[in-house]
Amino acid sequence: MIYDLAILGGGASALMCAANISKKTSCIILEQSSTLGKKLLVSGGGKCNFTNENISTNNYLANSEFISFALESFTSKNSLNFFKNIQTIKRDFGKIFGKNSSKEFLNRLIELNQDKKIVTSFKVCEVNFKNDLFEIKSKDSSYFSKALIVASGSTAWPACGVSDIGYLVAKKFGHSVVKTSPALAPMTLQKEQFWMKELSGTSIEARVEIEGKILEDLLLFTHKGISGPLALNISLFWKKGTIKIDFLPNLNVLKLLKSGGKKQLSSLLPLPKRFTKALLFSVNLNDLPLEKFSKEELAKIEETFHNYSFAPAGTLGEVKAEVLKGGVCTDEICPKSFESKLQKRLYFVGEVLNVTGMLGGYNLHWAFASGFSCAKRLS
C-alpha cells in the first residue's frame, strides 16, 4: 500500500499533526519505541505541563520570525480548547498542567488517531525518495508514502527511547543541522564554586540576566552543582563565560545594610542561614552583626548578593537534559507549512528543528503548535 502521508515519530508533535490531518488522507505513524508518547508521559513530573499562558517568541532560542506563525496559529487558548475535556491547573509563571495525569493527554491524542495506521518498534534504517515516493525502511520491512513528516525529536533524555533519525534524514536530503548541545539541564561548577555543593537540597528565588533575557525562578543547589527551573533555563541561553546571579532580586540590600544594628547578617536577610553563611565565607567574609562590618565590607556584601559572578563548568549532558538546542536549520524550512525548501513533500516539526523553548510548557507547546500548523497546511 502507498500512503498519502507517513510520520516518523510517535510523540507530541507527531500525534498532534496526525490528529489534525484530513480523514481523507491515508496516514501511517512509525514509532521506534514499543509505546507512543513516552516523553509526553513524563512531562511536568507526570502531570503534563502542556502550555503556558505567556507564550511568545521571547520564550524560545530560535529564529523569532520562523516560529511566530505557528505560535500565532496555535495559542495557549487553542491548546486549552483542544484538551478542553481534561481538567487543568495553573501554577507559577503561567505554567498550565493537567490536574491528574499526563496519560489523559496521551489518551486523547491516541483517541483522535484511531483511524491512522500506527506501527511501533519500527526502527528506521534508511529513507529514500524515488519514483516520486518516499521509502521508509527498517531492517525487516518498508513503507511507501507520497509525503513524509519527520517528527522524531532529539536525542535528549535517552530513557524515553530517543533517536537521531531526524537529523540523519535531514542530512540525507541536503539539510544543514545546527550542532546540538544539552539544554534545560542541571549545570556543573568549577572548583571556585564547590561551596555550593555543600548546600545540597537548599533552594532560593534568584534572578539572572543572560543574552539579553532576564530569568527569575527557583534555584536549587545539589551535590553535583545547580538545578531547579532557573539553572535549567540558564543552560538554554548560556554559551560560555561568566554569568551574574542576583540572590535577592526583590530587596534593596544596601538600604538594609545601612540600617545598621546588632542583628547577625544571616538573621536579617530573607535567605536560608546556611546559604548566607556559605556565600559570605566564599568571599572571605564572616557572618557578623551589621554594626561590625566596615563600609568597604558592606559594599562587598551588596555586590556579592546582587551580582555574584561565576562561570559554570558545563551541564550534566544529554542524559539529564530535557531537550537539545540546535537541530535542523530553520532557514531551509517554510515557516507556514514546515515543508523543506530542498525536497518537495518533506516536512519537519517539533524538537528535531532548531527551536528550543524555556522550561514551563514552552517546548511541549511548540511540539503541538508546529504539528498543528503543518497538518492544517496539508489538509
| Per-residue pLDDT, 379 | 76
Domains of the chain plus CATH, in order, are 2-182+325-378 (3.50.50.60), 187-315 (2.40.30.10)
Instruction: State the average pLDDT over residues 246-265.
Output: 87
Rounded Cα distance between 288 and 223, Å, is 27
| Per-residue pLDDT, 343 | 98
Lookup: cell for 358: 524555556
CA distances, 373 to each of 115, 191, 341, 349 (Å): 20, 47, 17, 9
Cα-to-chain-centroid distance, residue 253 = 33
Rounded Cα distance between 341 and 326, Å, is 19
**If pLDDT is split at 50, 70 and 90, which confidence band does 259 have?**
confident
pLDDT digits (tens, 9 = 90+) for 109-168: 999 999 999 999 999 999 999 999 999 999 999 999 999 999 999 999 888 878 899 999
**If pLDDT is split at 50, 70 and 90, which confidence band does 258 have?**
confident
**If pLDDT is split at 50, 70 and 90, which confidence band does 261 have?**
confident
| 8 Å CB contact between 14 and 372 | no
Which runs of consecutive H residues, i.e. helices, occur in the chain? 12-19, 38-42, 64-73, 76-82, 103-111, 165-172, 228-237, 253-257, 265-268, 273-282, 295-306, 362-378
Beta pairing partners, 218: 205
pLDDT at 255 over 90: no
pLDDT at 356 over 90: yes
| Per-residue pLDDT, 345 | 98
* One-character DSSP codes across 271-335: S-HHHHHHHHHHTT----BGGGS-HHHHHHHHHHHH-EEE---EE--TTT-SEEEEEE-GGGB-T
The residue type found at 103 is K
Reported residue count of the chain is 379
285 exposed, middle or buried (CB, 10 Å; 0-12, 13-18, 19+)?
middle
Highest mean pLDDT out of 21-30, 246-255, 258-267: 21-30
| Per-residue pLDDT, 40 | 95
CA contacts within 13 A on the Cβ side of 294 = 4
Instruction: State the average pLDDT over residues 94-121.
Output: 97
pLDDT digits (tens, 9 = 90+) for 199-220: 999 999 999 999 888 999 999 9
